[in-house]
Chain A
Amino acid sequence: MKEVINLPVKNIEEEEYHINMGPQHPSTHGVLRLVVSLQGEIVKSLKPHCGYIHRGIEKMCEKDTYPQIIHLTDRMDYLSAHINNHAVCLLVEKALEVDVPERVKYIRTIVDELNRIASHQLWWCSFGMDMGGLTCFFYGLRDREKILDIFEESFGSRLLHSYYTPGGLMMDIHPNFQKGVKDFIKYFRKKIKDYDDLLTGNIIMQLRTKGVGIISKEDAISYGVTGPSGRASGFACDVRKHHPYGVYDKADFKEILGTAGDTFERYMMRMYEMRESMKILEQLIDNIPAGDYAAKMKAVIKLPAGEYFQRVEAARGELGVYVVSDGNKTPYRMKFRSPNFSNLSALDHISRGVKIADLVAIGGSLDYVIPDIDR
């Protein structure tokens, strides 16, 4: 007679299984790996595994001079390259107590805002694609191209510009720059209505995003969720408003705060922010003062010994740069507080109990850029 083997009986209904979302997955926007525990379609917990694109930028900074470091910061959040450069430039200028010309401040602010719009346009593309609406991708890229053309004309490159240098700019703006920006604003004010028609007003999109992936204000503060994602939860964290740099104190713009903190609110924050950025551009573009495009700097930049910190509002949140200098031409220690890393840390908390499709939408609304997380 055959022996009866008693296998341990598992309740399949309650059993969790794991899937690897990434490192190669269409919705993680790069090489992020999320180990997701699922029960059926419902996400029980998830664990982000970072480091697939870790290049050791902070360590590399320790052997580079400050003008060289600028080029490395481009490669962190490549979609807001100008703003990353701005952070390091501001830090060096603060440490050396250099007074940069007014013209430089205006141009930097304008270029930052252009870069923010370009970044949000690409976010809109990829968010639409995460939701399953492929057409969004082409609409967004079409409009982003106009900004990249302006960049190419003035700074010679389209994605990684390294346009700012400590004390000023690499070169002056192209004579067509102002006209180009004004044309773009006129063009994009019309086209942003298409965005609303295609995705914002869509009933499927609203049903899928409202009330999903809620970050409360307390959670946003404790996880350090900043930028549009943090402001969607009502966390007033706009560095441009609270610690102004450049000429943001001269521009009239609103810091829009949300209340719901769900995926839809995070979506709307970025849509509002694109319009606010255009408002800032309109105010500044005609008032660029004449003058030098760079302050006189020493050939070898040496920061006095001590600790320095500077923060700027990058497209995805607050970017902090922390430097310990021992008086040499290279920093002793350099640390970047990247917005995406903090935003990603909240992902596990907010995506428990949602469905896989929602997880993808939440990821899209947090808008993470993987090279910025890993650095």
Chain B
Amino acid sequence: MNFSIYDFTSFNQWIDQFLRSVMSPFWAIAVEMVIIGLAILLFYALVGLFLVYAERKVCAFMQNRVGPNRVGPYGFFQTIADFIKLMLKELITIKNADQLLFNLAPFIIIIASFMAIAAIPFAKGLHAIDFDIGILYVIAVSSLGVVGILLAGWSSNSKYSLIGAMRSGAQIISYELSVGLSLLTIIILAGTMQFSAIVEGQANGWFIFKGHIPAFIAFVVFLISSTAETNRGPFDLAEAESELTAGFHTEYSGIKFAFFFLAEYMNMFIVASIAATVFLGGWMAFHVSGWNGFNHIMDFIPPFVWYIGKTFFVIWIMMWFKWTFPRLRIDQLLTLEWKYLLPINLVNILIMAFVVLMGWHF
């Protein structure tokens, strides 16, 4: 076995060969699936806990506060304490709620974000599954979450929840377009939808630099519309705590509420991962073509560190948005999408196609 933090491919092959040598191929794949599932579950929980902590610290930093600092060093175990609290809380059942849908909704939301994480490459050779239509898969799966939000709002039998869910439906369906089109701009440049190929294609420069201005516009549009798609401020109309108390999850308590809460942060992590992978090179180090010495030094930083660093940079930008801007109104939100972002995107795709056709990119 040769294990390297720069390339997980051989490590994965070693596990595969070992399992196949001790059991039948069917059981070997079954065991692999269980291992991957457990690994993703663990990663999911850790990232969720860390993101909640990070959000609190970032928001405290923006607001001249200290943030959590009582539980553990620098309040690091605060989210774990919160999680235990949410686990132990009573699950309140609403009298006239549609019980089946009411209980199903949090699972739909969390499963949607769970499925999306499977296609993301964390480092070389470190992804659960490498579809050749990876981007399409992620877009398709992440939009399943809106079904959960709509069901939560509808089944709660509360008007506040319903208003929140309806807002969310209109919002996510609209902004899905911009997310898709801005990713399409890069797909034109990359010539593939496969995540591993997209990352490999950025070996001599990230797409945001390679694609000139159209790629940068696509990145900004993607940031705006993906923030809207994850229901985060300034687009948090579905929750809008000053208007709708808590929007679609007003009636949820305990662990079901925690599911919504966790799913919000995981969705943020997923869109940040996609932004990092598609625009900022994913786990690929920062390379400048021609500077061989510089590139060599950059290669010493493990791919996983590059990936996490870029993802958290994007997440930090999204948190910055949230704690600076006031919330939009629903009609302004839709105006922004249909009258500004969508036309910009369509023109941007044409420009990008022209740039690629003429070979003007690096």
Residues of A within 8 A of B (CB): 17, 19, 25-27, 41, 128-135, 137-139, 142, 198-199, 202, 204-205, 207-208, 355-358, 360
Query: B82 on the interface (CB 8 Å rule)?
Result: no
Binds A, one of B25-33, B93-101, B241-249: B241-249
Q: How long is the Cα–Cα vector from A202 to B326 in the complex, in angstroms?
A: 8
- The 8 Å CB contact of A204, one of B59, B62, B244, B328, is B328
Q: In whole angstroms, how far apart are the Cα atoms of A17 and B160 in the complex?
A: 12
Q: Is the Cβ of B64 less than 8 Å from the Cβ of A138? A: yes
In the bound complex, residues from chain B placing their C-beta under 8 Å from that of A360 are 242-243
Which among B65, B236, B324, B326 is the interface contact of A138 at CB below 8 angstroms? B65
* A26 and B159 within 8 A (CB): no
Whether B329 and A134, one on each chain, are in contact in the complex, defined by CB atoms closer than 8 angstroms, is no
Contacts of B330 in A (CB 8 A): 41, 355, 357
Chain B residues packing against A (C-beta within 8 Å): 59, 62-65, 159-160, 163, 167, 233-234, 236-237, 240-245, 323-332
Of the candidates B59, B65, B237, B324, the one having the most CB atoms from chain A within 10 angstroms of its own CB is: B324
Contact A355 B331, CB 8 Å, known A134-B63, A204-B234: yes
Report the bound CA distance from A198 to B233 in whole Å. 15
Q: A199 touching B243 by the CB < 8 A rule?
A: no
Rounded to whole Å, the gap between the CB of A18 and the closest CB of chain B is: 8
**Once the chains bind, are B242 and A138 in contact (CB under 8 Å)?**
no
The answer to whether B329 touches A355, judged by C-beta atoms less than 8 angstroms apart, is yes
Across the two chains, which residue of chain A brings its CB closest to B167? Answer: A41
**A-B residue pairs in contact (CB < 8 Å), sample of 16:** A19-B159, A131-B242, A131-B326, A132-B234, A132-B236, A134-B59, A134-B323, A135-B63, A139-B63, A204-B325, A204-B332, A205-B326, A207-B332, A357-B327, A358-B329, A360-B242
Is the Cβ of A131 less than 8 Å from the Cβ of B245? no
Shortest beta-carbon distance from A148 to chain B in Å: 16
**CB distance B243 to A202 under 8 Å?**
no
Contact between chains at A135 and B245 (CB < 8 Å): no
- Give the contacting residue for A133; candidates B160, B244, B326, B332; CB below 8 A: B326
Contacts of B328 in A (CB 8 A): 204, 207-208
Cα distance A41–B236 in the bound complex, in angstroms: 16
What 3 pairs across the A-B complex have the smallest Cβ distances? A132-B327, A131-B326, A138-B63
A204-B325, A357-B329, A358-B329 in contact; A132/B63 too (CB < 8 A)?
no
Q: Report B151 CB to chain A, min CB distance, Å.
A: 20
Q: Which residues of B contact A208 (CB under 8 A)?
A: 326, 328-329, 332
Contacts of A142 on B, CB cut-off 8 Å?
A: 64
Known: A19-B160, A356-B163, A357-B330. A27 touches B243 (CB 8 A): yes
- In Å, the complex CA distance between A17 and B162 comes to 12
Point out which of B64, B65, B323, B326 has the most chain A C-beta atoms below 10 A from its C-beta: B326
Residues of B within 8 A of A357 (CB): 237, 240, 243, 327, 329-330
Given contacts A17-B159, A360-B243, is CB(A128)–CB(B326) below 8 Å? Answer: yes
In the bound complex, CA of A17 to CA of B166 (Å): 15
In the complex formed, the residue of A with least CB distance to B158 is: A19
Instruction: Return chain A residues, CB-CB under 8 Å to B331.
Output: 355
Q: Knowing that A17-B159, A130-B242, A137-B63 are A-B contacts, what are 17 other residue pairs whose CB atoms are under 8 Å apart, sorted by A's residue number?
A: A19-B160, A26-B245, A27-B242, A128-B326, A131-B327, A135-B63, A138-B65, A198-B324, A199-B326, A205-B326, A207-B329, A207-B332, A355-B331, A356-B163, A356-B243, A357-B327, A357-B330
Known A-B contacts A25-B245, A134-B63, A142-B64; the reply to A204 vs B159 at CB < 8 A is no
- Closest partner residue, chain A, to B335 (CB atom): A207
Smallest Cβ-Cβ distance to A208: which chain B residue = B329
Q: Is the CB of B233 within 8 A of A132?
A: yes
- What's the minimum C-beta distance from A48 to chain B, rounded to whole angstroms? 17
Residues from chain B with a CB closer than 8 A to the CB of A19 are: 159-160
Name the CB-closest residue of A to B236.
A132
Q: What CA separation (Å) do A138 and B226 show in the bound complex?
A: 27
A132 touches B64 (CB 8 A): no
- Given A25-B245, A26-B245, A27-B243, A204 and B326 contact (CB-CB distance below 8 Å): yes
State in angstroms the CA–CA spacing of A128 and B326 once bound together: 7
A86 to B183, CA, bound (A): 64
- What residues of chain B lie closer than 8 Å to A198, measured between beta carbons? 324
Q: How far is the CA of A205 from the CA of B243 in the complex (A)?
A: 15
* Residue of A17, A27, A129, A135 with highest tally of chain B CB at under 10 A: A135
**In the complex, are the beta carbons of A135 and B243 less than 8 A apart?**
no
Residues of chain A with a CB closer than 8 A to B240's CB: 132, 357
Q: Quick check: B243 and A129 within 8 Å, CB to CB?
A: no
Q: In the complex, which residues of chain B have a beta carbon less than 8 angstroms from the beta carbon of A133? A: 324-327
Cβ-neighbour of B324 out of A27, A129, A135 (below 8 A): A135
Q: Chain A: which residue is nearest B327 at the CB level?
A: A132
User: For residue A209, which residue of chain B has the nearest CB?
Assistant: B326
- Using Cβ atoms and an 8 Å threshold, which residues of chain A touch B324? 133, 135, 198
Q: How far is the CA of A216 from the CA of B324 in the complex (A)?
A: 32
- Shortest C-beta distance, A52 to chain B (Å), equals 17
Chain A residues with Cβ under 8 A from B325's Cβ?
A: 132-133, 202, 204
Q: Inside 8 A of B236's CB, which chain A residues have their CB?
A: 132
Whole-angstrom distance between the Cβ of B241 and the nearest chain A Cβ: 6
How far is it, in angstroms, between the C-alpha of A118 and the C-alpha of B242 when the chains are bound? 23
Residue of B with least CB distance to A20 = B159
Specify the chain B residue showing the minimal Cβ separation from A27.
B242
Nearest A-chain residue to B237, judged by Cβ: A357
Question: How far, in Å, is B191 (CB) from chain A's closest CB?
Answer: 37
Nearest-CB residue, chain A, relative to B323: A135
Q: How far is the CB of A354 from chain B (nearest CB, A)?
A: 9
Closest residue to A127 on the B side, CB-wise?
A: B326
B242 lies within 8 A of A129 (CB): yes
Across the interface, which residues of B come within 8 angstroms of A130, CB to CB? 242
A132 CA to B231 CA, complexed, in Å: 13
Q: Tell me the nearest residue of chain B to A130, going by C-beta.
A: B242
The answer for the CA separation of A205 and B331 in the assembled complex, in Å, is 14
Bound-state Cα–Cα, A149 to B234, Å:
34
B323 near A132 with CB under 8 A, answer no
How many angstroms between the C-alpha atoms of A199 and B325 in the bound complex?
8
Docked CA distance A142–B332 (Å): 32
A355 CB contacts on chain B under 8 angstroms: 329-331
Q: Are A41 and B326 touching (Cβ within 8 A)? A: no
Report the separation of the CA atoms of residues A360 and B329 in the bound assembly, to the nearest whole angstrom.
11
Q: Which residues of B contact A17 (CB under 8 A)?
A: 159
Give CA–CA (A324, B330) in the complex, Å: 52
Residue of A nearest to B328 (CB): A204
